Amino acid sequence: MADYIYLIIGIAVLLVGGLVGLVTSTVRRRGRTSTPPAPGTTTAEPRVGDDAETPRDTPTRTVEDADLPTGPVDTLEPAPVLETPESTAGRLVRLRQRLARSQSPLGRGLLALLSRDVIDEDTWEEIEDLLITADVGVAPTQELVARLRTRVKVEGVSSASVQDILREELVTLVDPSLDRSLAVDRKDGKPAVVLVVGVNGTGKTTTVGKLARVLVAEDKQVVLGAADTFRAAAAEQLATWGERVGVPAVRGPEGSDPASVAFEAVRTGIEQEADVVLVDTAGRLQNKAGLMDELGKVKRVIEKQATVTEVLLVLDATTGQNGLQQARVFREAVDVTGIVLTKLDGSAKGGIVVAVQRELGVPVKLVGLGEGADDLAPFDPAAFVDALMGVTAS
C-alpha cells in the first residue's frame, strides 16, 4: 500500500515539472518575436562595426547621384614637368668658358714660346713637342710649325702680332671650311635618321640623350631608338633621357636583334611624323668583322624605310691614339659623316680635334663639355681656338 502511494507521488512530481518547463519555453519564444514591419519600410542587418541596437543609417542615392561613381576613385599622378633644354647660343657660351679653363695651357704655352725675345731652333722644337703632346699629330704639327716659322720671320714677333698669327694659324689647322651642320631635316616626307656609333665607355648613349635635348631646343620632334640591346642599362638610360624632355624611346628585350629595334624606331618615327630618329647602337669591339656586319645590317634595315642622313662617331677626347684607332675601325665599318668628341673639357689634349679630322676626313660636329644635361654643343672652330688661347670672345 505504501509503495503504491510513493508511485502516485512520483508521477505527480513529473507532471508538474513538465508543465512548468512548457510554460517557460512558451514565454521565451514570445519574447523573441518582433512586430512585423509596416508596409513600405525596410530593415537592414547590422554590419561589421555597427551596434546591434543602433545600426548606422544607410545613405540613400537620389536620381541626381545616379551618374556618380560608387567605387574607389583613382588618384591620377600629376604629369611630369618637362625640362627646357638650353639654347644653342647658351651652349656656345659654355663651350668657351669650359675650354678656356681646361684647354688654355696649350694656347698659353704656345704664346709664351713664341713671345720669347729670341726664337731659336730649341724653341721651335719645344713648340713641336707641345703640339704633339696635345695630340695634334705629327703631320699637322709639322705643317703648323712651318707656317709659323715663315710668318714670324716675315711679320716679326711683337706680342700683338704673335697672338694674331697663332690664332689665325690654329683656326686654319682646325679647318673652318668643313661643313659642321647636322643633317636633321626631314627628307622625302620622312624623318631624318641619325645613327650614333662608338665603343662603350665613350659616353655614346649619354650623347644620344643630350643630342635629343639639342634638337628639342630647336623645336624638332624626336624619337629615340635603343638599339644597344647588349647592355642592360642602355635602354633604360636612354628612356630616362627621353622622358625628361618628352621624347619617346623605342626599345626591345635585352639581347634582341639591334636591327629590329632600329627598324621599329624608324617605323614609329614615320607614324608619329617625327623630324628626327636618333638610333643608339651597340659599342662592342670584339672583332672588326662582327662590328662591320652588325652596323651594316642596322643601316640596311633602317634604309628600307628612311634614309640614314647622319652617322655620328662618338670618341673620348682623352684617349688620344686609342681614339684614333677606334676611328679607323668604325670608318671601315660604316660611312661616318661626323664626329662627337666627349670629355673634351677634362683633357689638355685639344689637338685631338685636328688629328681625328685628318684621320677620317670628316668634321668634328659636336663636343661634350661636361656631365651636365646640356653640356653638348655644336663645334665652332673660332670659338674653340679662342678658348684654347684664353681669348675673350668679342
Annotation-wise, does 129 bind a ligand?
no
- Position 10 scores a pLDDT of 59
Annotation-wise, does 210 bind a ligand?
no
248-260 pLDDT tens trace: 999 988 888 999 9
- Position 54 scores a pLDDT of 35
Set of cell numbers at residue 243: 622622358
CATH of the structural domain 90-174, one choice from 3.60.20.10, 3.30.590.10, 1.10.1040.10, 1.20.120.140: 1.20.120.140
pLDDT mean across residues, the chain:
78
Q: Identify the residue whose cell numbers are 720669347.
A: 116
Every domain of the chain with CATH number 1.20.120.140 lies at 90-174
303-348 pLDDT tens trace: 999 999 999 999 988 887 778 888 888 888 888 999 999 887 655 5
Set of cell numbers at residue 313: 662617331
The average pLDDT across 170-198 equals 93
Annotation-wise, does 283 bind a ligand?
yes
d(CA 83, CA 209): 13
| Res 61 pLDDT > 60 | no
- Position 191 scores a pLDDT of 97
Every domain of the chain with CATH number 3.40.50.300 lies at 192-378
Annotation-wise, does 137 bind a ligand?
no
Q: CA dihedral defined by 377, 378, 381, 384, rounded to 10 degrees?
A: 0
Annotation-wise, does 269 bind a ligand?
no
Annotation-wise, does 288 bind a ligand?
no
Spell 307-327 as b/e; 16+ CB within 10 A means b: ebbbbbbbbbbbbbeebbebb
pLDDT confidence tier of residue 232, bands split at 50, 70 and 90: confident
d(CA 356, CA 360): 6
- Pick the more confident residue, 267 or 34: 267
Annotation-wise, does 290 bind a ligand?
no
Longest dimension (CA), the chain: 167
- Position 45 scores a pLDDT of 42
SS3 at position 263:
helix
Annotation-wise, does 109 bind a ligand?
no
**CB count, 10 Å around CB of 334?**
20
SS3 content of the chain, % helix, strand, coil (to 5): 50, 10, 40
| Res 136 pLDDT > 60 | yes
Fold category of 192-378 in CATH:
Rossmann fold (3.40.50)
Helical (H) or strand (E) element with 309 = strand 308-316
Annotation-wise, does 343 bind a ligand?
yes
Annotation-wise, does 205 bind a ligand?
yes
- Position 349 scores a pLDDT of 66
| Res 82 pLDDT > 60 | yes
Could you tell me which residues are beta bridge partners of residue 316?
Answer: 342
